[in-house]
Structure 1
Amino acid sequence: MSKHATLIKPPKALPHHSPIENVLSLLPLSDIGPDIYTNARPLWHPPGARGIFGGAAIAQCLSAAQATIPPDFTVHSMHCYFVLAGNSEIPILYHVERVRDGKSFITRTVQARQRGACIFTTTLSFMKKDSGGVLRVEHAVPMPQDVIPPPDLDSARHQISGDERPFESVRSPALHKGEPSSRKLRQWIRARGRISDCPPNVREGELQSGQRANQPGDNHQAHLSALAYMSDSYFIGTISRVHGLQRFANKGNIERLLKRFPGSDAERKQMEEYLLQIGREEEEEDAELDSSRTPAQRLEHQQDNRRVGMMVSLDHTIFFHNPRSFRADEWMLTEMESPWAGDGRGLVVQRIWSKEGVLIATCTQEGVVRLQQKESKL
């Protein structure tokens, strides 16, 4: 890891903060200008990815915007575009623009920049709490009933060596019947540890510049940022998964990734263990998909030599439905499906419910999905 991954020396991790709070913490740069923030700690670069984990940019942009709004306003939507791959060895500057402050809605835009270039941009809208009135039109997609409950014990799932994510996930059996457009992938996710009750970006009881205090015990902003971070987990990869195109179950792909891995032998061993675990999950998922195939479809799949050549997120949208009614450190169910793929792109829709069945968020993501092309013999 570069010594210049952050602009300021990372502060000590606060013991009462969960891992995801420490990962997503920001520092204000009031000496440079108003409403400018930077990542307090180095950001994770997933194995095989072109840049940093996209969820980090999404969540830190949300955190930066939240630092500029009153505590009685809550985010209800954010529309994001991935412009350039983020470099984990270079600090990120988050520039917040106060577009509009209304009575019921507040609008912010945030640009994430590295070396002066915009790598990520988002527009966010915040709504005043309880401004919708007493009489309301209400409905929601119910949580699926045919889902295996998540583990009850904290020790039920151990962190994979080499997995630097501050959250954990448990794959749930998916619905594989029909065409790729009708298949649904499910997983339980939650932040590791317990998210603290103090407002985000607070250092040793001191509010940072530009941050307004929430009421004691009200730390919904940290839960929203954590949810935004986790929403990018395996998102665009849904397209390859509903087609049964494996990326890490292929040992050749893992070997190629490890050859380019710049770390030490011990770090490379950890990375190998992490990739092999993902590969085993892919094989389990493929076995479930295989059980729904006809004999002819199984033979066709065995002869399918297509390989993913490029998979990159282009945009990411989150609609927060019940932003103060969940905890991100408790199990949440995600269900992902892909209604369309073509022309080198694909679209994925994700719904997230609390363990109690409350629909928390609906997310969409479009990305580049290109296959390795066969070489012309001409």
Structure 2
Amino acid sequence: MTEAARAAAADPTASADGSVPLTSDGVPCGQPVLDRLVALLDLERIEENIFRGVSPAESPVRVFGGQVAGQALVAAGRTVPPERHVHSLHAYFIRPGDPSIPIVYEVDRIRDGHSFTTRRVVGVQRGKAIFSLSASFQIDEGGIDHAEPMPDVPDPESLPTYAERVAPYRAQMGPFASMPRPIDLRYVTEPAWVTREAGPREARNQVWMRADGKLPDDDLLHVCVLAYASDMTLLDSVLARHGVYWGVDKVLGASLDHAMWFHRRFRADEWFLYDCASPSASGARGLATGRFFAQDGTLVATVVQEGLLRVLP
């Protein structure tokens, strides 16, 4: 990790000219906060196949799942030739991560074939695995091509900002509403913390997202930022079906596993629609699926996650 990256990771308001953009509710946002996310993904190489990552100073009680998934994918990608691009990942969240100490990522070079490369990564804290990931990379190849169309939704710029949506509910939602926001997020459907007042609704959640600033021209970084963002609102589709929400109701939850397939190239600093739905919930677990569409309607990625969801009386 470079010295500039260390500084950005330590200070969420660090920027070249000292200015710090704020949302309408006073939360740091924009390029300085996005630069800090990029710094978090800029892992320190300890050995040939061993990397180390850190967490933001203002993290909640456990490491955010999108962060550890993004960092693990960076570790895997750093051992793969740049002409091979990740097309899928499958991950398990094994133990809660402690944000106060670094995470060590150990990469196992499973296979280097003619067309595909496979890597396995284990995230370790205090000598125990907290996360495991398998990722597959492929050279560019032609072939058959089709995709589902994007749902008909309003333009992202016509929708309220996250700050505007959350403002009436900040006191109920606690510290999560005040954390720095590297991802610009605009709800298409009504947020689950709003619709809960009317009771259960369709198990669906749609948001426009983009990195809140400009990212470098690095394909792996854009994929890792998308992996980070993919854990942000996915389980909201499960909660919406039952009229409850994190922080506002007594909901205990955590990501259990996470799978992503990357279909086409994209830029994570341009708008993409995250269309999520939940086909099932049972046994204190909820299953959610998500599709990422670029603003021009191109399907760029698919996500599936099961989460632990305990709703207390």
Query: Smaller-chain TM-score range?
Result: 0.7 to 0.9
- Deviations along 1:66-101, one digit per CA (max 9) or x if unpaired, are 100111100000000000001110110010110000
- Deviations along 1:140-186, one digit per CA (max 9) or x if unpaired, are 111111x1101179x9776988322321211112599xx97953210
For the residue of structure 2 that corresponds to 1:12, the secondary structure is: helix
Residue of 94, 110, 113 corresponding to 2:121: 110
Structure 2 residue aligned with 1:264: none
Uncovered stretches (5+) of structure 1, i.e. residues with no partner: 1-5, 198-218, 251-306, 374-378
Q: Does 1:194 align with 2:214?
A: yes
Between the aligned partners of 1:138 and 1:196, the Cα distance in structure 2 is 28
Aligned runs of 1:75-86 on 2, under 5 Å?
A: 75-86=86-97
The AA in structure 2 aligned to 1:58 is A
The AA in structure 1 aligned to 2:72 is C
Cα contact 1:23–1:166 (8 A) shared by 2: no
Residue of 10, 16, 24 corresponding to 2:41: 24
Q: Does 1:363 align with 2:303?
A: yes
Pick closer, same or farther for the CA change 1:340–1:66 going to 2, 3 Å. Answer: same
1:346 shift after superposition? 1.1
Aligned runs of 1:61-210 on 2, under 5 Å?
A: 61-130=72-141, 133=142, 136-145=143-152, 147-151=153-157, 162-173=178-189, 183-197=203-217
Between the aligned partners of 1:66 and 1:43, the Cα distance in structure 2 is 26
Instruction: Judge which range, 167-176 or 85-94, deviates more.
Output: 167-176
Between the aligned partners of 1:181 and 1:151, the Cα distance in structure 2 is 25
Structure 2 residue aligned with 1:35: 49
TM-score, normalised relative to structure 1? 0.66
TM-score, normalised relative to structure 2? 0.79
1:234 shift after superposition? 2.1
1:189 shift after superposition? 0.8
Between the aligned partners of 2:96 and 2:162, the Cα distance in structure 1 is 31
For the residue of structure 1 that corresponds to 2:254, the secondary structure is: strand
Find runs of 4+ consecutive structure 1 residues off by over 4 angstroms. 14-17, 155-161, 179-182
The AA in structure 2 aligned to 1:310 is L
Between the aligned partners of 2:128 and 2:69, the Cα distance in structure 1 is 17
Between the aligned partners of 1:113 and 1:63, the Cα distance in structure 2 is 15
1:231 shift after superposition? 0.4
Uncovered stretches (5+) of structure 2, i.e. residues with no partner: 9-14, 17-30, 168-176
- Deviations along 1:259-286, one digit per CA (max 9) or x if unpaired, are xxxxxxxxxxxxxxxxxxxxxxxxxxxx
Aligned residues: 273
Residue of 45, 51, 62 corresponding to 2:59: 45
Cα contact 2:201–2:240 (8 A) shared by 1: no
Between the aligned partners of 1:181 and 1:365, the Cα distance in structure 2 is 20
Residue of 260, 266, 283 corresponding to 1:318: 260
- Deviations along 1:10-68, one digit per CA (max 9) or x if unpaired, are 623385983431232211002xxx2111115536624xxx5111000000001011100
Between the aligned partners of 2:147 and 2:178, the Cα distance in structure 1 is 38
Identical pairs, percent: 36
The alignment's C-alpha RMSD in Å is 3.0
